Structures are given as structure tokens and as C-alpha cells.
Structure 1
Amino acid sequence: MTSETPASSGAPSTGLGPWMRFRRQYSRLSPPVQMIGLQLWLPLVFVIAFCLCYINAFHQPSPKDIKVAVVGTGPAAVTLADRLEGTSNGMLSVSVASSVDAARGDVRDGDLAAAFTPGAANQPARLLVASGAQFQFAEVVQQTFAPVAAAEGSTLAVGDLAPLPKHDSYGTSGFYIALVWTIAGYMVGMFIGMMGQTLKHRVRLGLIVGSGFVLSLLGTLFAGPVVGAVHGHFLSLWLLGWLTTIWWSTACPTTSAGSSPARRSSCSCSSTFRRRAGRSRRRSCRSRSSGCTRMCSAPVSSTCCAASSTTSGRGSAAARRSSASTRRSASC
């Protein structure tokens, strides 16, 4: 008995690779679906970059090469510095400071995370830190040098040269208020670039400046008087936020694309043009053969409705009419 294998449905194999077969299948989708698919690279890159940059970096942080100094002279200070660096597994980069004043200046300037002065039996060891500049490093070095002082038979006295304020115990308020200004400016630029391409340059710039004025004021008010995360320097913060918002609004890619001289032309299909007072407004692009309706406000593909009419199965006459209309109308 012979068995026959049923023929597989679909187009016969043409020996194309997976990528070419994917492109052929993708080209059969409707133009709006193709456009959406081409824009999905942004969330894809965001997911990959966020996982690699944030989750990978913060799930198990391990500091390396924290610059600290041992205050002292002679072989004892050098031996202690070498021992601390050798037993830290790469976490510390230990040097020797000749005096407390020199180490104090380096810690205050941020060149050192801490400076350790060995103690004695009746004198506590001293550790100089600046938590306002490097909060995480200050916590790590305190945990590192407390056992060292205990091994010498003394206690550890910590001196903070630049302490964090009580209303910002982690020192992150400045970062988050800057993030608020950055995101607000980027969103303003994105929406103006997407929806305001027919506006004049001075109108777009006025919207950016005015929006930045209001949004930076709101951010400074909430961060300062409302929440209490930032105290003082209200006008300086407001001006800084205003400039930051304007910068990100103008640096947004969609704003840059929209700020170029817009080609105010019509949709390239059987569309109706409505020009009032010499100004081009939004047009509705309608195809008689497929009933497709879309808004044209940017240089979109001129084969929108022509492709729809060709693939709708209503005959080649509709395709010829749409193609002729496409040639007569101006390209977007």
C-alpha cells in the first residue's frame, strides 16, 4: 500500500532564506501595520538597554577601586595601605597621605572617598568622609574600616566633611528633579514635532519656551515648597530647569525634523485639498476602492491608497484610477 503525503498549503518553496521569506510576508501586510512594525524598534531597544544598564548593574553591585588614603609616615603606614588593598579583593585603591590636612582637602574635593588615620589603645582611629559627594562610598568605607580599627584595639570616629541635609538623606533629589525636567522637555518636543509641523518656526519656538517656563516652575514648586526635598535656591533651580527643558525640547529628534522647512503639500492619492487663507491644513486621504481614510501631516508613502486599491481585489480599473490620481497630485 502506498501512502501519499498531502501537499502543503501556501506558496511553493522558492529556495529563499528565512530573512527574504520574512520580508516577502511582511510586504503583504497593510501599510499601517507595516509602519507600526517599523517603529517597534524603539521599545525593543529600550527593553534590551534597560535590562543591560539597570538590572544588570544594580542587582548585585560590587564597588571597585574606591580611592582611600592612610594618613601617616614611615613603613607602618605603607604596610597598612598595602595590606588593606591586598585584602579588599579590588574594592579599595589605597594610597598614603603625609598629613591630615592634605587628606582632608582631597576628601572635600572628591579626589578621595575617605582618609583613615590609625588610632592607638587610648586614642580612637579617625575616618574622614564626604557623604554629600559620595554617599554610597561613605557607607562602604565605614563598614570596611570599622573592623580595622577594632583589630587595632581602638574605636572608629567618623568625621563627615560634607554631610547630606536631613531632608535629602540619600542625596538623590537633585537627580530626580533633573530627570523630571528632561522627560518633560523631551515630551514637549516630541508632541510639537509630531503635531506642529505646519506651524511657523517662531510659533513652535514660542510653544517650547512657554511650556518650559510652566513645567520647570511646576517641577521646582513640587520639589521645593510642596514636597520639601530641596530647600533654598528657588530662582536658580527654576532657571536651570527652564533651560534644561528648552534644551531637551529642541534636541528631540521629532522637533528637529519638524523645525526644518516643512513641505506643505497634499496627500498623494485621490484626496481633497483644503487651503484656507493660503495655509495648508490637515487633509483626509480617501481611496474609493478600499475605503481607506488616513490623515496626512508628514511625508508619508505615496502608495498608501494605491496599494490598498490594488490589493483589495476590486479590479485593475480602480488601481489605474488611483495611480492616475497619484501622478496628478503632489507628493507628501
Structure 2
Amino acid sequence: MATTDDGTRPTLVEEVKSAVTTRAALLVIGVLGLMVAFITSYAGAFHHPKPDRVPLGVVAPAQVRAELVRTLDRLPGAPLDPRPVASEQAARRRIEDRTLDAALLVDPRGTTDRLLVASGGGASLSQAVEAVVTAAEKQQRRTVRTEDVVPADAGDGRSLSSFYLVVGWCVGGYLCAAILAISAGARPANRQRAVIRLAALALYAIAAGLAGALVVGPVLGALPGSLFGLWGLGALTVFAVGATTLAFQGLLGIIGIGLAILVIVVFGNPSAGGAYPYPLLPPFWRAIGPALPPGAGTWAARSIAYFRGQALTGPLLVLSAWAVGGALITVVLTTLHRTADERADGERAGNGTAGDGERPPA
């Protein structure tokens, strides 16, 4: 049994203070907060998915097109954002370039219309649009036949492989940065070491991007598309998340790892449009998703896999901004901390010299 300095047995309070420091208690409280935020974010995003202003093309004879667009636009809850389209060919092009999520083709000679969807962009969204349009057509005593013009690959169940691929890349990015912090200190000692960490992260990102692309492509056959395109996207995603984590660590120390988890996992994953694409998410998650690495990565992965690389510019700019911003902040913070430490050392040395009674040099 441990004893205090005076030989007496420590009290329970003293034992608790010795076993759980104030810093540890604060970290545990922070972890509790992350857990609550995790549950709230995922449950809030996924508990009640419903279509909201889904872009829908409408191809119909001129005499009925405007009225049909108005009717679909006024459906309860505003599930659709109908837009007139001149022809079936134009509708297909706009679905393939990701401007539209679906298109309704009205047959004036019969009572059965066609609905074009793209399950490669999200099976849950295609099914939601089909349900809404089928119900609306039924009210008009018409039927609808669904045609998947950009189908998900046979090995890509519910078109989720791209989402899980990006989630894996994100996990690899912040874990690599966290390991660098745990093994060698949350903040690099100087600018040179910060650059070395970023270089190590870049090499890791290249390897991680290739590994992920190989697994979902040639190994599992879970995702079609360009191997080199997915490799490049993976490298950029991993580096963006890792550099962001390094920047957070430079700002807050080891607590920065928790901030990275908050941004990437708690907020980023449920808003990524993976399980439920953006039009099915509540407004908050739909708004932040495209601006965070998981959302940008998931959109880009689906574009590479199913849409011949269409609509890639925005997501790649988002990932590049996180990558460049994280790297710059890491280097700048390291320089500022180094300068502050040198200034403090100089002040301590000056105080010590004055205390020895020596006259400072002129």
C-alpha cells in the first residue's frame, strides 16, 4: 500500500488525484463530448432521409410541359426541383454530367412514361425519386417505367464502395498524422522537421491512394473507373486529411487529433453523401458536406467511377484547399512557436545574466 511523505496512508481523494490527473480528466470529458457529437451527427443526418429539391428533368410535349413542371414543383414537401429539358438526348447528357439526378420522359401517345435515373450516383436517391414520381404519376392515372442509365457496378452494392473507399483514405490520413505526433511530439521542433513530416505524409498518401484503388478495383472488383484516377484522388484525399490533422496539432497540441476527428469523422462522414446523397440529407449536413474532405472525395470517386470524370473541378479544389491550407498552417505555426521559444529562452538568459551582477554588453 502506497504511503504519503509523512508515512500515513493516502486518502481516497488523494488516490484519485494521483491516478487521474486534471489533464487526463479534461481529456476524458473531451472524449465524452466527441462521443455525444458523433451520435448526434449520425442520428441527425440519417434518422429521417427524405428527398428535398432533387434536380429532375422533364421531357414532354410543349403544350403540357409547363403545367407538368408546375405540378411536380408543387408536390407536398417540395421533393423535386423539376426543370424542362428539350429532348431525351439532352436529359441523358445532363444526367451523365451530374447536372440532373433523374429525368421524366412523358409519352403523349400512351399512359406509361419513363423515368431515367443514375444509381451510380447513389442507389438510395434513385429509389427515392422513383417513389415520388410513381406516386405523382398515379394521381394522374399514369404509370412509370424506370430505366437506369448510369447503373452501379454489380460489385458495388447500393453504390457505397466509393464512400467506404474515401472513409478509409480519411482514416489513414488522420491516423498517420496522429502517429507522427505521438511518436515525435505533437508540434515539430522546427520548420525543417515540419517539412519532413509533410514529406513523409506525402509519401504515405501516394502509397495509401494506390493501395485503396487496387483493393476496390482489380482485387475486389467493387468499383469501376480509372485506376490512375482513383489513385490520384486517394493520394490527394489522404494528404489533405493528414495535413489538416498536422495543422490542428500544431495549433492545439495533442488535442488537435480530437479536433480532426470532430471535423472529418463526426461532421464529415455523415454529410459525405455516401449512404444518402445530398438531396436526402437535412439542410445542415447537405450544406457542409461538399466543403469537407469526405464529401468532396465521395463525389469525386463516383464521378471517376461512373460519370467519366464529370463535375470533378469543385471537389478537387476543395481537397486541394484542405491540403495546401493544412501544409501552410503546419509550417507557419511551427515557425511562430519556434520564434516564441527562442524569444523566451533569450529573456531567461538575459534575466540570468542580470542576476549574476554582470553588466550587459553595450
Category of TM-score, reference length = shorter chain = 0.5 to 0.7
What is the deviation of 1:77?
2.8
Tell me what 2:75 maps to.
87
1:225 maps to 2:218? yes
AA partner of residue 215 (structure 2): F
1:126 and 1:241 map into 2 onto residues whose CA distance is 37
Tell me what 2:48 maps to.
60
1:249 maps to 2:242? yes
What is the deviation of 1:150?
5.0
Q: Percent identity?
A: 25
What is the deviation of 1:157?
3.0
User: Structure 1 residues 169-178 or 149-158, which shifts more?
Assistant: 149-158
| Change in CA separation of 1:31 and 1:166 when aligned onto 2, cut-off 3 Å | same
The 5-angstrom pairing of residues 186-225 of structure 1 reads 186-197=174-185, 201=193, 204-205=197-198, 207-225=200-218
The 5-angstrom pairing of residues 31-50 of structure 1 reads 33-50=21-38
Tell me what 1:125 maps to.
113
Bigger relative contact order (CA 8 A; separation at least 6)? 2
What secondary structure does 2:119 align onto? coil
AA partner of residue 254 (structure 1): Q
- 1:69-124 CA-to-partner distances (Å, cap 9, x unmatched) read 33234453333333333333321233333443443333333232222222356463
Hey, which of these two has a bigger chunk of helix by percent? 2
- State the TM-score, normalized to the length of structure 1: 0.59
Unaligned runs of 5+ in 1: 1-24, 264-332
AA partner of residue 87 (structure 1): L
Aligned equivalent of 1:162, options 150, 168, 177: 150
1:95 and 1:242 map into 2 onto residues whose CA distance is 37
AA partner of residue 57 (structure 1): A
| Change in CA separation of 1:73 and 1:48 when aligned onto 2, cut-off 3 Å | same
AA partner of residue 133 (structure 2): F
AA partner of residue 189 (structure 1): A
Tell me what 1:181 maps to.
169
- 1:236-287 CA-to-partner distances (Å, cap 9, x unmatched) read 4334323332333332123675973787xxxxxxxxxxxxxxxxxxxxxxxx
Q: Based on CA coordinates, which of the two structures has the bigger radius of gyration?
A: 1
AA partner of residue 242 (structure 1): A
Aligned equivalent of 1:139, options 121, 127, 132: 127
What is the deviation of 1:141?
2.1
| Change in CA separation of 1:148 and 1:231 when aligned onto 2, cut-off 3 Å | closer
Aligned equivalent of 1:238, options 231, 235, 243: 231
What secondary structure does 2:152 align onto? coil
- State the TM-score, normalized to the length of structure 2: 0.55
What is the deviation of 1:58?
0.9
CA RMSD of aligned residues (A): 3.5
1:69 maps to 2:57? yes
What is the deviation of 1:235?
3.6
Is this contact kept in 1: 2:50–2:128, CA < 8 A?
Answer: no
Unaligned runs of 5+ in 2: 1-12, 255-329, 339-362
| Change in CA separation of 1:135 and 1:84 when aligned onto 2, cut-off 3 Å | same
What is the deviation of 1:66?
1.8
1:63 and 1:123 map into 2 onto residues whose CA distance is 25
- 1:192-248 CA-to-partner distances (Å, cap 9, x unmatched) read 112213876165345434443444444333323333213453344334323332333
